Structure 1
Amino acid sequence: MTLTLTQVAKTFSGATRALLPTDLTVEQGEILSLLGPSGCGKTTLLRIIAGLERADPGAKIRFDGEDVTTQPVEKRKIGMVFQSYALFPNMSVRGNIGYGLKMQGLPRAEIAARVEEVIALCQLAPYAERPVTALSGGQRQRVALARAVAPRPRVLLLDEPLSALDAALRTQLRDELAVLLRRFGITAIFVTHDQDEAMAIADRVAVMSHGRIAQIGTPEALYRNPATTFVARFVGDAMALGGRLEGAELHLPGGSLPLPSSSPGHDVFVRAEDIRLDAQGPLTARVESVTFLGTHYRIALHGVAHEPLFALHSGLSAPRPGEEVRLAIAPERLILLPKEPA
């Protein structure tokens, strides 16, 4: 199903603009993430798509061309997975998955066939007769997905589906969720504030800020070509270098860097993985702290720019705090963005 939103906005009481007029198209079978900090409007947008919130007058919501703007939630044929999963603790896995189908009044044979289908898709056969209270967090997530998909919804909506899990389990289930959503082949939209989660799962990511979509694109496009300072900082933690631009050179407290081109009126950003320790590098910095993270070191650097910088170093050893080091940054790894109004 193709989802099309036109001029979708939401104003709450007291003239609070939770969502500014938004246009968005999600293609058949596409997985889209709404990514942003708390209060940016992503959950409001998801609830409007579901029919749980009514958009401001003038909005249009279309499912495969059908106008569902004023349709109530129960008529939109939406599948939803919430943070809490909202499973029935007194029912088995099979009972939870089949409950919505029973409420639709489907024949018993069709219910049984659909339940078996999603149990197989979600690899839940060994747990089918267990109560959901006997399952792990990851298994419960799979039950919630199976229950949402069993009625064959037109679109699947997920609201922070991994946020209730601990960090180690989130990483494991993030990859599992990406596989399951593609196996379903269903149009899916999920809300998250976790950039790693969005980039690992989604075909496209819509980065939201202050009630609007700041930029939308593939994870690679957002990371490599952010359109705004907000997107550069939020996706990949880009750091501002500051300094003074003169032609195609950036002058910093710790030295000068060549730029890809002369860029007056721009700010320059860099990501931690693009700062290299290099004895012949043009920049000088003092090591403030070193954190060992297993696959690499995270080194805090002072004196090279007006603000502290961090570098990711994958060598077998790292400099000690207090040492002076030389740094290099390849010109093509710098991110140049137009200055934003103060």
Structure 2
Amino acid sequence: MVGIQDPRRPAVYALRTLAVAACYFASGRLGLLRRLTVEGAVFTPIYPPTGVALACLLVLGLACWPGISLGALFLVLSIGTPGPDIVGILLGNTAGPVCAYVMLRRVGFRTDLSRLRDGLALVFLGALAAMLISSTIDVVTLILAGKLAVSGVWPIWLAWWAGDAMGVLIVAPVLLVLLEARRFPSPARRKEALALAVVTAVLVPVATHSSLSALFLVYPLLIWAALRFRLAGSMLSALFTSVMATVAATDGVGAFAGLSPVEVMLKLQLFNGALALTALLLSAVITEQHHTRLSVEEACQELAEALEHLSAHDHPAGRAPPEVEELRRARDER
């Protein structure tokens, strides 16, 4: 009936907003478990709420932005007593993911990350460009509030921007992969996945905490995960590796031992950025090639069926033409 709205819609929207806020708050508390101090300012090398916020926007739409602001408010209140600068902090934490969502939608971004262009868009638009907005607003707010000196703003701004960008590069793809999951792998593939998980669980902590600076050992695992399990395998491996590297950096061990806070920040963020970039783009290329091969196989099968149908009319009692026989052999070999 015209003029009557569904009474459940406001309740569903309120629950969705609270769910987004809860996810944002929980991921923020997890990120705050590991911090680095640069020029007297504390920041998180990987800020998961930016990835959570962008994933929520891509899945639920722009209408969920109040949940992001509400989650950021809860997070700020859990850290300490807020001041007038809280308005700018909430604006920055909300504006960055929202701008990332708008830019990604403008370029036709697909949440399954099945094309190389989707991976490039997430890297350069969703992470590197959009997070400039959130970090700049937050830093300017702290300067205006008198909590940050202008002389030491660049290292802090860089650390803030890198942490936000890493949250988008590492956390958002994992969440999108989990939401796009449709089926479990075959039993044989499950055994291989278990073997990959065991090797990763053993080798990555050794590589990140070893005094030999053996971080390069994680890249063969990343390539294995991308080749065999595409985005799901590569991004989960990258997430685990980034977490282990962050633990080693905040503890000052392994490849991060004996470095100054600024050097630790730069080395960790360069490693995490290279890791996430490799995992995301490599898996996107492999997925795109896989889909292309499937499309070619389907086209060949449709063409073979069409030729068989035509040959049934042209050669009712004889052998099929050589072209049809060739297509049949190619289909059987596949």
Name the TM-score, length of structure 1 as normaliser: 0.27
Identify which of structures 1 and 2 has the higher relative contact order when contacts are C-alpha pairs closer than 8 Å and 6+ apart. Answer: 2
Q: Which has the higher strand share?
A: 1
